[in-house]
Structure formats: structure tokens, C-alpha cells
Structure 1
Amino acid sequence: MRTTTTRTAIALATALTLALAACGTDSDPDTGDDAGSGEAQNLSLRVAASPVPHADILNFVQENLAEDAGLELTVEEFDDYVLPNTALQDGEVDANFFQHQPYLDDFNEKQGTTIVGLTDVHLEPLGLYSGSLDSIDDLGEGDTIAIPDDATNAGRALQLLAGHGLITLADGVGAEATLGDITDDGGITFNELEAATLPRVLDDVDAAVINGNYALEADLSPAEDSLALEEAEGNPYANFLAVKEGNEGDEAVAVLSDLLTSDEVRQFIEETYEGSVLPAF
């Protein structure tokens, strides 16, 4: 009886030892199997973006680069400049790609959001367009020009017009210029409208200052169709990938940042937009 009990105890002890060893093998972070599964694990990221060129660039990354980098990328398109930031702040998306630093600074201040820019990707030169005029020299007294109504792009538009001699701004006024800073309007009337609507009013005004992405969506070529266009050199309005503060070190965001500044994306921007959108890296 004692011999049988001893043998049973030994058998149970042996089985327990093997079971514990098996559990240790599965959970040990230093084993080769676990490291392999870690490397194969996909990261996921949901990004809000304007349709053109932001979503186009992201879709290029999703279709050509993301899988090999272990990134599952979902692109959500928005047609305005407010919802991509509120969606990010509220956690509906993980990042967004549509804006430049002056706009984000103004948005954060006014809305109380905590969004930070990370990676400069491209520049969309702001341009002056007309449905009826062939030259900027044809603009003058009695004409109407539509400009964006958000603070940063309005100031940017006024600087473009001042730089081409259509108006004069008060000394020292920078990107924050408003209509109240115009000291000589040259007899021109200004309509401030939501940026996304500006291409649709070209037949109702003499000219409009339109953001590059909305010009492209309207089949306007900034490089060919504009009466005046921002210079790229020294321009502070590069568009970037942005996240909510605290998520700057997110691994998936880091992977996407690297992909957005890759040689493949540079080539895609240069070949697709032919100077209407410029790489900013």
C-alpha cells in the first residue's frame, strides 16, 4: 500500500513539473516563439484626412507600404477643417493629416483641444484663381475677391495678395493679418467664406484665394491655373501628421510617420501632383 502511494505521488509530482515547464515555455518572453509572434503582430491606426491630397497619400501608403511594415491603416475622409480635429480629440480616430501649424495653434487655443503636430509631409501652395480673368493685373477697383474665413488661412491669403501688390497691409502684420489690417484695399471688396466652398463661388466673384487641396478637388491645377501662387521656400504652412497630446510615442504612429516621409511617398507626390503639391521632407 505504501509503495503504491509513493509511486502515485512521484507520478503526480512529475506530471506537475512537466505542466509547469510547459506553461513557462509558452509565457517566457525570452523564447524564440514569442519573439516571432511579437514581430508578426500588426499595428493598427485610424487616420482622419482631407480627401486630396492627404487621403490620396495615405491610400498610397495603405496600398503599397503599410502591409510590409506591419501596419493596418484605415483612412477616414472629412470635407472640412473642424471635424478631423474634434474626432481626434474625442478619440474617434488615432491621428489626422490635413493641417499646418498656424491653423492648429489657432484651433487649440480657441477650442481647448490638445493636439500636436509630428511629421511634416507636404506643402500645398495657396493660390489665387479666377473663372473670368486671365491675369492678376486685371484685378482692381470694383472687383470682389473671396478668401478663407478661418483666421490662419485668411491671413495667409491677405499676405499673398499684398505680396502681389493688390492690397497694402499695416507694417509688421504677419500670418495673423485680418481685413482690419488692410491700409489700402485698392477698391477691392472681400468676401470671407468657408475654405471648402471657395471653388464653387468662382463664377460669383472676380477671384478667390483657394487652399491647394480644395483647388485640386475642383480639378484646378495650382501650378497652371492660378493667377498667383505661394512660394514654397521658407513657407511655414507644411501639412503634417498630428495626434492627441500624450500619443506622440505611439508605435503605430511612428511607423506611419516613417512611411509618410519615405522615398516612395516623395516620388508619389512629385509624380502625381507635378508641382501643385510639394514634399516637405
Structure 2
Amino acid sequence: MHKRKVRNRVIWSVVAILIIIAGWFSFGPVDSSNNAKQKIVTIGVVGLTKEDETIWNSVEKTAQEKYGITIKIKNFTDYNQPNKALANGDIDLNSFQHYAFLDAWNKANHGTLVSIGNTYIAPIRIYSKKYKNIKDLPNGATIAVPNDASNESRALYVLKNAGLIKLKKGTKLVTVADIESNPKNLKIKEVSAEQTARVIDDVDASIVNNTYATPAKLGDKETIYIEPLNKDSEQWINLIAVDKKNKNKKIYKEVVKAFQTEKTKKLVKKLYGNTEVTAWGLNLK
């Protein structure tokens, strides 16, 4: 009788183990696979540089180690592509634009893309090969500015903050028509963004985006003014964008957290010096 009880216990133990094993193979791998799929986030960027790649590699590592998220970077060559891809659901997030660009794109395309976190701002500068200080610019000086709507507006705000002109209040995107006061009678020369660096020898000063200043070897030596970080520059902060319907998804918020770290701040400073400034936690006045 005793032997029969022992044998029954052994049989039931084996059966229990087999049930557990069967359950694991039936359900374990499926759950794991589904979870892995949910933890992949594809982010669209534009013109990925070696420096950018280094930063994203660091963010990817943080996202994986801290949140179990695998980030995949999709590099676009055209600034018009990443927002379309995001709106179509081909990517999950994108990181290449500032608020002014996003607002303009949404209006033009009836878009519903929103920001879920700031990344950095690249202050633009006024460069000159004739003068060493913004105060040295003479009456009637000619200043070159980009002629596209977004960059021209930004350049005019830089001139405003430099104390050279006054702009009409209540307008975010301004043009030369919004100049209310120009005490030095500055001549604003509108040229294409890529020409702002090339015409610097022919003007008294030029406002050049970093994209074109770096290859033109314009640096601290030629800098006579740097765009300040204040309320006027807020719209030029770069961001991570998502479709509005997905803005509260935990996984996307975790990607932002993986980006907005002290580690990223130090890396941006190391790679870009003072040409880029991380833009979360800024106190803009």
C-alpha cells in the first residue's frame, strides 16, 4: 500500500512538471515575442552626422539598459520626408525639427504632430569679417539674412535682441515688413540660406545657420553676436515629435527620458562645444 502511494506521488509529480513545461512552450515564447515587438521604436532623423550618431548610440544604450527599448534610427535626406513618414505611421517618432518648422508643417498639411520633449537648440550667429563687435556696425550697414520664411524670421529676432531693430508685437513669424524701428538704417539683404556664408565678404555682416557656417569655416573669430536663449528663441528649440494620438504612450515617454539625461548633456557639450545647447529644463525669460 505504501509503495502504491509513493508511485502515485511520483506519477503526479511527473505530470505536473510536464504541464508546466507544456505551458511554458505554449505561452512563454509568444508573450516574449509580443513584448519584443512592442519595445522597438523607430525614430526618423535627417542628415545623420558622426556626432549625431554618437549621441543616438548613447541614447539607444540607455533606452535598452533602463527601459528594455530597442531604438532604430531611420536617416532621411529630405526635410519634408520625416513628418510625412510619421503621419503615415512608417516611423514612431522623429527628431530633426524645431517648433517653428513643426507648426508650419502642421498648418500646411493639416497635420496632428506634436512635441513630446525638447532635445537641443543651435543658437545662430551674426558673423562679420569687417567688424569685431556688434556695436561697431556703422549706420547704413548691409546685413545678409536667409530669405526663407522660418530662417528670415529667426534672423530678424536675432537683430532685435542685438538691439539693432524693433519689431511689431504680436507676430511670431516676421518679415522685413514687421520692422518697426531701424535707428541705424540697416540694409537687410535677403539671400538664400546657403548663400549667407558665401556673401560675407560683400556685406558688413551676415546671419548664418550652423548648417552653412561650419563648412564655410566661420567660427568664434568671425562671430560678433550669438542668439540669446530667451522667449524669442523658444520656437527654434528642436524636439522629438509624435502623432498626437500616441503622445501619452509610455514607451515613447521613456525614449524621451533616455534622451534627456546628464550623460547626453555632457556628450553634446563634448561634441558640439557651444554651437549646440541641450534644451530641456531651460528657464527662458
> For the structure 1 residues 196 and 71, does the alpha-carbon distance in structure 2 shift closer, same or farther, using more than 3 Å as the test?
farther
- Deviation, 1:241, is 0.7
Is residue 98–residue 240 contact of structure 1 (8 Å, CA) maintained in 2? yes
**Structure-2 separation of matches of 1:63 and 1:22:** 35
> For the structure 1 residues 54 and 280, does the alpha-carbon distance in structure 2 shift closer, same or farther, using more than 3 Å as the test?
farther
- Deviation, 1:77, is 4.5
Structure-2 residue corresponding to 1:240:
239
> For the structure 1 residues 279 and 206, does the alpha-carbon distance in structure 2 shift closer, same or farther, using more than 3 Å as the test?
same
Structure-2 residue corresponding to 1:280:
279
Equivalent residues in 2 for 1:146-165 (5 A)? 146-165=144-163
- Deviation, 1:265, is 0.6
Structure-2 residue corresponding to 1:209:
207
Is residue 112–residue 243 contact of structure 2 (8 Å, CA) maintained in 1? yes
Is residue 132–residue 223 contact of structure 2 (8 Å, CA) maintained in 1? no
- Deviation, 1:240, is 0.7
The alignment status of 1:226 with 2:223, answered yes or no, reads yes
Aligned positions, number: 258
- Deviation, 1:45, is 0.8
Following TM superposition, the consecutive aligned residue runs of length 4 or more in structure 1 with deviations greater than 6 angstroms are 19-23
- 1:166 match: secondary structure: coil
Letter paired with 1:114: T
Structure-2 residue corresponding to 1:105:
103
- Deviation, 1:242, is 0.9
> For the structure 1 residues 183 and 263, does the alpha-carbon distance in structure 2 shift closer, same or farther, using more than 3 Å as the test?
closer
**Structure-2 separation of matches of 1:127 and 1:117:** 26
- 1:227 match: secondary structure: strand
- Deviation, 1:116, is 1.1
Is residue 62–residue 73 contact of structure 1 (8 Å, CA) maintained in 2? no
**Root-mean-square deviation (CA), in Å?**
3.6
- The alignment's TM-score, normalised by the length of structure 2, stands at 0.72
Is residue 197–residue 212 contact of structure 2 (8 Å, CA) maintained in 1? yes
The alignment status of 1:262 with 2:261, answered yes or no, reads yes
Letter paired with 1:269: V
Letter paired with 1:182: I
Structure-2 residue corresponding to 1:253:
252
Gaps of 5+ in 2: 1-17, 281-285
- Deviation, 1:47, is 1.3
C-alpha distance after superposition, 1:141-180 (max 9, x if no partner): 444322233434322221221222322333x254322110
Gaps of 5+ in 1: 1-18
Equivalent residues in 2 for 1:67-106 (5 A)? 67-68=64-65, 69-78=68-77, 81-106=79-104
**Structure-1 separation of matches of 2:26 and 2:253:** 27
C-alpha distance after superposition, 1:215-250 (max 9, x if no partner): 3454444x6642111222554132111123323245
Equivalent residues in 2 for 1:187-198 (5 A)? 187-198=185-196
Q: Share of identical aligned residues, percent?
A: 27
**Structure-2 separation of matches of 1:179 and 1:54:** 35
Structure-1 residue corresponding to 2:125:
127
Is residue 116–residue 253 contact of structure 2 (8 Å, CA) maintained in 1? no
